[in-house]
Amino acid sequence: MGICANYVRKLFGSVSGRTVALLGAFLVVIFYVPIAMAETVIKVDAGANAQEELQEALILVESGQTIELGEGIFVLSDGLSLDVDNVTVRGQGMDKTILSFRDQKGGSEGLLVTSDQVILQDFAVEDSKGDAIKSKGVDGIAMINLRVEWTDGPKSTNGAYGLYPVQSKNVFIHGCVAIGASDAGIYVGQSDRIIVANSRGEFNVAGLEIENSYNADVFDNVLTRNTGGLLVFDLPNLPQQGGHNVRFFRNKSFNNDTPNFAPEGNIVGIVPRGTGMIVMANENVEIFENEFYENDTMNIVVASYVDDFDDENYQPTPRKIHIHHNKFGKSGLDPDTGEFGAIVRETLGTPVPDIVWDGVLPLMDYFVFGQDEEHKLAIHDNIHLDGVRPFGNANLIMHVIAPIFHKAHYDMSPYQKSYPPLPPVEVIIRGKNAMELVQ
């Protein structure tokens, strides 16, 4: 369009800008559209030269075009990348179009997207050496009906993240499957305006994690057979921190029974086998209408950041965590024997209560002032099994400072309060509400 108008401008140098634009549009209608229509879909098939053909298509594709991947296994030797705005990459289905990185020699992810308004759908990325699909610093990324998988099952040598949008705005993940990530199957980090829905995480260390992010809706997902199902973390010393306004609703997190296989040294290595959900740091997290059951360590834990840090802007204790209308089933009968699981067993006993708070506060608050009413946990209208304590405060500060005086608290009455519901998140992709992409 721009080129065409320039051409017209050259021909009719003296004509006014508006006339030129009109004329340009006219020419576009006559000549440009039919040609463009024929070219908007670039087909790439699996074959011996898949690496070069697919990467070349990802480089030469123009804004507004679609790359259509054929059925079959694309054998790839290097990470792929896309840096053109407003492109769709579409396969024939998550079990039919498979990008296999089993023989990958270079590149730290399977597919990297660094351009805005990109839609990825209906294909799979298998066995990438690092992360499977990453978007970095983009506005508008849709991942729809994708599968990312490490096909040998849980192994510490698997890549860290499956679906990995980071430092992105308007993130939409829908109908995806993530299996075998050595960190999180679906991980959204340092991002803003996020929807993760109708997706499934299995056999990952963390099924689905929102980290250092703002305004996320996580709903209708199924997390099972991971080490931990749902995580919402906030970490220090990062360009974006102070995670807040995250809603988790209508998710099912159950039978997360895979022993933690994260490579040592990673923060996710703390997750005990059999955890339904961990809230760490963050402010304003609303957890409602979810189901948690058959998680051997515990259903939900609300905790402060565990390591030392050097960052005066960082808020390590969670605030305004609102847990209501969830359904809890049998859990907490056999906590993990690792550090975190052991301390839960030691301080709270088994069966571990459905909602665990570590009880950690800034020391002055803990010993002198008490927790600000405005920051307290709010818990109401959840359904618990008979004979299970709904809530336990592990009181970890006393456990560390003076174990002989340590006592856990099970009284929920200080937290039987409510916060106003958080607003729904709207994700805009190509100028439209992202939910329209899947309707």
User: Under the rule (CB under 8 A), what is the footprint of another protein?
Assistant: 51-53, 55-56, 58-60, 77-78, 81-83, 104-108, 112, 114, 129-131, 136-137, 156-161, 164, 166-167, 182-183, 187, 189-190, 235, 237-239, 263-267, 307-308, 310-311
**Closest approach of Cβ 82 to another protein, in Å?**
7
Min CB(89)–another protein separation in Å: 14
C-beta closer to another protein: residue 78 or 334:
78
Which residue lies nearer to another protein by CB, 155 or 407?
155
Smallest gap from residue 286 Cβ to another protein (A): 25
Please, which residue, 159 or 229, has the CB nearer to another protein?
A: 159
CB 100 to another protein: min, Å: 15
In whole angstroms, the minimum distance from the beta carbon of 17 to another protein comes to 15
**158 or 170: whose CB is closer to another protein?**
158
- Per the CB < 8 A criterion, the answer to whether 356 and 390 are in contact is no
In the bound state with another protein, the residue whose beta carbon lies nearer, of 136 and 225, is: 136
Q: Which is nearer to another protein, 92 or 108 (CB)?
A: 108
Task: Return the number of the residue (264 or 373) whose C-beta is nearest another protein.
Answer: 264
- Report whether 60 contacts 39 (CB < 8 A): no
Q: How far is the CB of 124 from another protein (least distance, A)?
A: 19
Residue with token string 């990825």: 120
Q: Which residue, 167 or 198, has its beta carbon nearer to another protein?
A: 167
Least distance in angstroms from the C-beta of 166 to another protein: 5
In whole angstroms, the minimum distance from the beta carbon of 41 to another protein comes to 19
